A = this chain, B = another copy of it.
Amino acid sequence: MTTATNPRVLEHPERTDIRLAGVLHALSDPVRLTIVREMALGEGDDFACSYFDLPVTKSTTTHHFRVLRESGVVRQLYSGTTKLNRLRRDDLDTLFPGLLDSVLSAATAETARDTAR
């Protein structure tokens, strides 16, 4: 028997399967961290991948969003042919209280130091 899988339904880890190592790895890339910081500004909003002005190719962008999705940092769903992305803030805050906020604050502090140089 073959099982038809729907390519329009993307795989996500359940909340309980999200791992700290995976989340930290996802956030350890500057481009992915830029994406997450922008999403955090519009909490609960859905963002198309094309919303973000990133210094990488489209296929690299797709790769970065996949890493974010597979680690449990974002949820992706199709709306027509567009993939929409939403930060999984509730899941992350429940599993790792304060972690996302401290990373976002650290990123803001680093950007401020870089600008002041």
A residues neighboring B (CB under 8 Å): 16, 19-22, 24-25, 27-30, 33, 95-99, 101-103, 105-107, 109-110, 113
Contact = CB atoms under 8 A, between A and B. Distances in A.
Q: Which of A19, A27, A28 has the most CB of B within 10 A?
A: A28
A60 to B, nearest CB: 16
A28 B71 CA distance: 12
Q: Classify the interface of chain A: helix, strand, loop or mixed.
A: helix
Contacts of A98: 98, 102, 105
A101 B106 CA distance: 13
A18 to B, nearest CB: 9
A32 B105 CA distance: 23
